[in-house]
Amino acid sequence: MQAVAYRRPSVLVSAADGQRLGLETSRGATPSGVRDHPQFFAGFLTAPQVAAAGLLAVADVAAARYYQRQLRASLDPVVTGNGDRLRFESFSGCGGVYARLDVLEAGLDGGVVGHGTTNVDVNNPLREALSRIGSTDPLHLRVGPDELAVTTLDGPVVEKKVPLPDRWLRGFAEAQVIAAGFDLRAELPAAEAVRFLRSLPRGGGRGASGGARWVVPAGRGLRPSTRAVPGAVCLPGPERLIALQRVLRHATALRVYGPPVTGGAAATAAAWEVVLPGMRLTLTLSPDASRGFSGEGGVLDALAADEAGEDAELISVLLAWEPRVDVCDLATASGLTAERVRAALVRLGTSGRVGYDVAEAAYFHRELPYDAERVERHNPRLRSARALVAAGAVALDGAVATVTAEDGHVHRVREQAGVLSCSCLWWAKYRGGRGPCKHALAVRMVRRGTAVEQVGQTERVDGGVR
């Protein structure tokens, strides 16, 4: 559990110049350091009803579980000010759906957008009020306390205690790594977008998706496919797109993103972006409703490399809450190669310090308002791999390595064209589709000469002790 404290609940009130939406912030990161209740924006929204619907969609995902629905899920969204836009993000309680509303410069009017990241309070009375906003109602938005509150409110704060599982935090890291491999696969005009999304099922029994579904671009729309074919996009657990129903009547287009696939490929993640006036709402789905992003393993190689950690420290100094992080610019400024910059960004993503925007094919800077450093410490495969190296369980013999597991079983790890395979059950089941197994990860650590951990007063490296 983690305590998230606000000065008072977020509210929507009527005023002489229209309605005023005050979103209260918690403790968060800013360019001047960590601050209690920072303010990121005070001005009008150009499309109030659209923004309200988009914010409700993000809150819907934060409050939902699409798998094992009987378990609790109540996390407040995260807001980031990037200087020219506001980003509202959330994860579902089951960790399989990532939502983000980008309120762009065209959606904001009359206010300066600050820089920083924090939680924002979206309570049930506020949700009811947002659902009643009309299309012609002027709406003034304040993200953070107003000046009067800053100077006069010194009383008790409103505190929420929310469950914050490690797998939810790891999901933020994995989602941005996976999304960086997506390309635009289809773009549907408004009418086709509405028709397609309204045709999807809205419920799924006990939360299971019933297997992977696929869609293929066809003319101005999408047609279903029973299997993966080149150009297809996976639609796992289509009922998980239900939050998009909030904004459908305001949609101007639907864009679908996914990785390249071949015939008969296994299920993959995909991103579904609804284009709105002055903003975008994107839902990224994991490869299966029962499969959260936290176990995908896309960040393990970066976490296992000392070089990536050192590079990440350098790159972090160059980040400036930019809404669009350019890899080439960072490479020039840091003197690193583009490949090392990308690995460093992955490393920073493991602590929530960068995200990825598929619409702009670019990273962006944010700082999650959680103790996200525990993500690396508590990653089970990474922890197990380090233990294997520390125990001297890895023996190298050219392209083949032998790893003696804790239970005495011997596993063979082979490298071919830079890809490691293993004789263990994990590899047999996933074939690398969820990142390296602990044995392959341990072999990679040894080959890189990675310092693993302190054992008593000695440090084990490459299977030896010094």
Strands 139-143, 18-23: pairing kind: parallel
CATH at residue 331: 1.10.10.10
- Does the structure show a pLDDT above 70 at 41? yes
Count other C-beta atoms under 10 Å from residue 17's C-beta.
9
Q: What is the pLDDT of residues 298-350, one digit of tens each?
A: 667 666 666 677 898 899 989 989 999 989 999 999 999 998 898 888 888 87
Residue after which a domain boundary falls, among 339, 358, 374:
374
Q: Are residues 442 and 455 in the same domain?
A: yes
Q: How far is residue 200's CA from residue 215's CA, in Å, rounded to a whole number?
A: 12
Count other C-beta atoms under 10 Å from residue 104's C-beta.
18
> For residue 259, is it within any domain?
no
Average pLDDT, the chain: 85
**Sheet architecture: strand order including 233-234:** 221-225, 214-218, 233-234
Q: How far is residue 330's CA from residue 318's CA, in Å, rounded to a whole number?
A: 7
Mean pLDDT of 15-40: 91
**Higher pLDDT pick, 136 / 420:** 420
Sign of CA dihedral 93, 203, 242, 188: positive
Q: Are residues 388 and 314 in the same domain?
A: no
> For residue 292, is it within any domain?
no
Q: Are residues 448 and 310 in the same domain?
A: no
Contacts of 343 (CB under 8 A, 6+ apart): 301, 302, 305, 307, 308, 311
Mean pLDDT of 147-153: 42
Query: What was the pLDDT predicted at 166?
Result: 67
Residue after which a domain boundary falls, among 137, 167, 197:
167
Instruction: Grade residue 164 by pLDDT with cuts at 50, 70 and 90.
Output: low
Q: How far is residue 11's CA from residue 438's CA, in Å, rounded to a whole number?
A: 48
**Segment 386-390 long-range contacts (CB within 8 Å, at least 24 positions apart):** 386/442, 386/445, 386/452, 386/453, 387/453, 388/438, 388/439, 388/442, 389/442, 389/445, 389/446, 389/450, 389/452, 389/460, 389/461, 389/462, 389/463, 390/452, 390/453, 390/455, 390/460
Query: What was the pLDDT predicted at 454?
Result: 34
Q: Are residues 328 and 446 in the same domain?
A: no
Q: Are residues 352 and 450 in the same domain?
A: no
User: What domain range includes position 459?
Assistant: 379-465
Positions of E strands within 190-298: 214-218, 221-225, 233-234, 253-258, 270-276, 279-285
> For residue 404, is it within any domain?
yes
Q: Are residues 411 and 445 in the same domain?
A: yes
Residue after which a domain boundary falls, among 374, 401, 429:
374
Q: Are residues 365 and 385 in the same domain?
A: no
Query: What was the pLDDT predicted at 395?
Result: 94
Q: Are residues 140 and 7 in the same domain?
A: yes
Helix (H, G, I), strand (E, B), or coil: what is residue 264?
coil
Domain count, the chain: 3
Q: How far is residue 270's CA from residue 273's CA, in Å, rounded to a whole number?
A: 10
Residue 251 backbone dihedrals phi, psi, to 5 degrees = -70, 140
Query: What was the pLDDT predicted at 444?
Result: 87
Q: Are residues 370 and 384 in the same domain?
A: no
Q: Are residues 6 and 144 in the same domain?
A: yes
- Does the structure show a pLDDT above 70 at 232? yes
> For residue 305, is it within any domain?
yes
CATH at residue 140: 3.10.150
Q: How far is residue 403's CA from residue 405's CA, in Å, rounded to a whole number?
A: 6
> For residue 222, is it within any domain?
no
> For residue 187, is it within any domain?
no
pTM to 2 decimal places: 0.83
Amino acid type, 70:
Q
> For residue 437, is it within any domain?
yes
Query: What was the pLDDT predicted at 87?
Result: 98
| Distance in Å from the first CA to the final CA of the chain | 39
Q: Are residues 49 and 137 in the same domain?
A: yes
Q: Are residues 25 and 142 in the same domain?
A: yes
> For residue 231, is it within any domain?
no
